[in-house]
Amino acid sequence: MSDISIPGTASDKYGTQKLIEGLMKVERVPRDATAEKIKTLQTQKTVWLDFNQRLGTLRTGAQNLYNFKNPFNARLAKSSDEDSLSATATREALEQTRNVLVKQAAAADRFISSELPKDYKVAAGSYAFSIGDKRVELNFGGGSLQDFADALTRKGGELLRAQVVSIKTDTKSLVVESLKTGAASRLGFSGDAVKLALDTGLVERVSSSRQELEGAKAVRWDKPLDASAIKADSLVLTAGGEAKLELRPQVKTAGMVLEVEYRLTRLPRDRTPSTPTGPSLGPVGSATFEGITVTGAPSASGLPEWAAPPSPAVLEDLSMASVIGGDGAVRPLPELADGEGTRTITVKLDGYGGSAAALGFRVRDTTRRLEILKARVYDPAEAGGFRPLKAVSTAQDAVVSVDGIEVTRSSNAISDVIPGVTLNVKAASEKPIRLKIQPDREAVQAAIVAFVGNYNKLMGQINILTRSDEKVINEITYFTDEEKKTAKERLGTLQGDSTLNLLSGSLQRLATTPYQTKDGSAMVLLSQLGVATNASQPGAGGGFDSAKMRGYLEIEDETLAKALDEHFEAAKQLFGNDTNGDLIVDSGIAYAVDALLKPYVETGGILSLKTGTLDTQIGNEKRKLDSLDAQLVSKESELKRKYGMMESSLNRMESAGSSIDSFSKQNSGQ
């Protein structure tokens, strides 16, 4: 068996391995062609998948410009004083401008104790705190001030919080605060919390200084009071009337607040009297004699010529309320707010003298009737017979006036005054704040830019796939090096494909088609919005830029911004419009692009069929490749077997020849 030779494992003295490789190279030609075809088909599939993704991106961008989430319906709320008031608007808000005066922001009770020793201990006990109608109870086993604050914070949850503040190196203070704003959410103490609050100087006991005044109990001021002005539950004053509500006892104004509930009613305007007709005189008599009738002359009344009386003077004056001090000084309150319905004026009495003896009402306005329902004077810091010694803030409601209509809410987030708008009150404002609700034009412009960008990327991809000139790649300036390399590899991959050429032409037609809008010819084309294919080269004497002949869209930012300012609703309809009133969009470029791309990208659509066909072809070619590979393996094995046998025969022949030569030499030697 030593004469058997296996090609490739022993010395290839006959060159059989090279012969086999040459023969196999010829045999592999069909196999290599099949493998190359599979690679081409896979590349085409990848290209179509990427193209499908690009179509989907453009379609989504088109849908976002006309569906129910489109940016044309987004609203912005801009405040002229963001430090005092901000606002957020939903898509349901109407475009409008409101004037908002922030009289006060809602606040919560926040009390700080006196300075306490560093080692102050809180005794064990049952500590109860109230926040409005809510209650927090803490069973504390005793411990340091910090232990108590931590335990109370954990127990308080979303209602109450406590903390310890170091005032000096050897003293601390306890801060207890409500987490609920609004006048109704006062912080109260009960159980062992009362003793703790008094001992630490959080609060002090006081007698209530609150006084309730009823309009029906008004008395004379300077002029006699008309008895008809006193109603069952109110005081009614017209021009020239005056009255006062007495405070018994007088109150110190420091820290006190006045609230007055009232109604203002417009009086009907006097009409100019008509000219009097004068006395009624009966018909004149007549006499007849021998067929002749004589009629008497009409009676003459002798009335003087009538002259209309002068119209009464019209005076509008909303300064109707005053504070009458203990010294008799009259200090006017702010003007009352005009409007229908019951209103409330709230005034802090600091600065209105040292004491107040009464509230005075004097009406000079000839166009309105004033009705005082009730009034109250109270200390806002006082609650349940306690008043904080050091109130960092005191619970109060937010009070704002929207276009003259005053509203009071317990929270600084007010969402039920302007439909679709939430007012975020921050601080009192000195003058009315201009709140403008308007479309989010920046979001619209960004969406249009994104749509045009996706459109251009799709057109660029079509140009690369259907053309073989590298200029279509070099014209695209936003490509990265990697993207440019991929584009060169795919250049002309689908050249001559009717699907892409048809799609490109359809998209360009849609971009230049007029669409129906509310502004007629002023806004029917994309070019009027500042979006157009600009093939001309300005200043080039009629020349053109070939890059601008590829179907790309350009945006003129100034024109777009101006169009959105002046024709916003029409611009919205340019992308999606309901032309027949059935509440379904049926026109517009975004709608048209969506409709055009739908059969391409939907399940079972044009591109799905193309990739499916490619999958079938790739599968068939892979099976063919497997068969060819098997044939090549068999062929190569057969060649190796035959050439092995040939080498074995040659080796035996050489061995026999060598034996004969040796025998001859031996015989010759003898």
pLDDT above 50 (res 542): no
**Predicted pLDDT at 6:** 52
211-268+315-380+397-438 topology per CATH: Jelly Rolls (2.60.120)
What is the per-residue pLDDT across 201-247, written as a single tens digit (0 to 9) for each?
999 888 777 889 998 899 999 998 888 889 888 999 999 999 999 99
- Is 573:516 a contact under the CB 8 Å cutoff? yes
φ/ψ of residue 130, rounded to 5 = -120, 140
Helix, strand, coil content of the chain in percent (nearest 5): 35, 25, 35
Write down the mean pLDDT value for the chain. 87
CA dist 254 and 355 (Å) reads 8
Q: Cα 186 vs. chain centroid, distance in angstroms?
A: 34
Name the range with the highest mean pLDDT among 6-20, 38-52, 141-155, 280-294. 141-155
Q: Is 108 exposed, middle or buried (0-12, 13-18, 19+ CB in 10 A)?
A: buried
- Is 350:257 a contact under the CB 8 Å cutoff? no
**Predicted pLDDT at 415:** 94
CA dist 395 and 564 (Å) reads 46
Q: Which of 349, 375, 352, 406 is nearest to 260 (CA)?
A: 375
Strands 134-140 and 125-131: antiparallel
CA dist 547 and 535 (Å) reads 8
pLDDT above 80 (res 647): no
**Predicted pLDDT at 654:** 78
| Residue 150 pLDDT grade (very low, low, confident, very high; cuts 50, 70, 90) | very high
| Residue 541 pLDDT grade (very low, low, confident, very high; cuts 50, 70, 90) | very low
**How confident is the model over 316-337, as a mean pLDDT?**
92
